[in-house]
């Protein structure tokens, strides 16, 4: 049995750590320790998506154990038909659009935390985007001092093209502070949006 200690890890780390373990476990049961009920629910939903058996046990108010196992483990033909981590479709290409430096309405502080979580989760996807487009306040994400530079640089190193609107960089006074990717223009952004499947937080 493979064990993961995700106690104290904020969302989405328990799910990400578990997916990594499942990829390495090759059918072995995985036991994850977490400290909140929401994490157990997220893991249970992931298990359902991946057709895995799940057992949740509450040890105390601040400790839960979630056990994931493959019901087809040891049955090679069935396991081959129901892989734990199914391959993505060959045509699953997409572009990510970031038009703000935070996610959603309401608290900007929470929104910036969500943006960090979104971009980190993006680096962990089985299929990475072809491009990340940053415009309006999204241009601030690619410049010096951005809290998400490491994740954007990691995406770029993995072949993702990071493009920032040049006129947006000028508007926010950061044209000379670009720290990842390159500047582009609105004509090119429209071309990409017109011809691509887009994802936006």
Contact 40, 64 (CB under 8 A): yes
Cα–Cα–Cα angle for 165, 178, 131, rounded to 5 degrees = 50
CATH 3.30.110.40 fits 2-81, yes or no: yes
Question: pLDDT tens across 168-195, in order?
Answer: 999 999 999 999 999 999 999 999 999 9
Helices (H), 26-88: 37-49, 76-81
Query: Residue 87: is its pLDDT beyond 60?
Result: no
Supply 144's token pair: 């010096």
Query: Residue 184 has what pLDDT?
Result: 96
Question: pLDDT tens across 17-34, in order?
Answer: 998 898 888 788 999 999
Roughly how many angstroms between the first and final C-alpha of the chain, as a whole number? 36
Residues 6+ apart with CB under 8 A from 194: none
Return the CATH number of 95-199, one of 3.90.1410.10, 3.30.420.40, 3.30.230.70, 3.40.1260.10. Answer: 3.40.1260.10
Contact 132, 23 (CB under 8 A): no
Question: pLDDT tens across 73-82, in order?
Answer: 665 544 444 3
Sign of CA dihedral 134, 136, 139, 141: negative
Query: Residue 74 has what pLDDT?
Result: 60
Where along the chain do its domains lie? 2-81, 95-199
Query: Residue 49 has what pLDDT?
Result: 87
Instruction: For residue 8, count CB atoms less than 10 angstroms from its CB and return exposed for 0-12, middle for 13-18, buried for 19 or more.
Output: exposed
Cα–Cα distance list, 116 to 19, 38, 121, 151, 201 (Å): 19, 19, 8, 8, 11
Percent of the chain topping pLDDT 90 = 78
Peptide bond connecting 12 to the previous residue in cis, omega within 30 degrees of 0: yes
- 87-91 contacts, C-beta under 8 A, 24 or more apart: 87/126, 88/126, 88/127
Distance separating alpha carbons of residues 54 and 1, to the nearest angstrom: 14
């Amino acid at each position: 049995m493979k064990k993961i200690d995700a106690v104290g890890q904020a969302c989405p780390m328990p799910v990400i750590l578990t997916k990594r373990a499942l990829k390495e476990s090759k059918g072995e049961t995985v036991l994850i320790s977490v400290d909140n009920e929401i994490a157990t629910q997220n893991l249970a939903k992931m298990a359902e998506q991946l057709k895995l058996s799940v057992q949740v046990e509450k040890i105390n108010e601040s400790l839960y154990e979630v056990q994931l196992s493959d019901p087809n483990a040891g049955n090679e033909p069935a396991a081959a038909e129901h892989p734990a981590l199914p391959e993505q479709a060959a045509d699953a290409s997409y572009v990510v659009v970031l038009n703000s430096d935070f996610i959603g309405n309401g608290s900007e502080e929470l929104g910036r935390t969500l943006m960090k979580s979104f971009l980190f989760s993006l680096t962990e996807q089985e299929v990475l985007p072809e491009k990340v487009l940053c415009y309006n306040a999204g241009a601030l994400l690619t410049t010096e001092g951005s809290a998400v530079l490491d994740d954007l640089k990691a995406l770029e190193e993995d072949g993702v093209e990071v493009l920032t609107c040049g006129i947006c960089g000028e508007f926010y006074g950061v044209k000379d502070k670009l720290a990842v990717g390159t500047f582009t223009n609105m004509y090119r952004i429209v071309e990409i949006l017109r011809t691509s499947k887009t994802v936006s937080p």
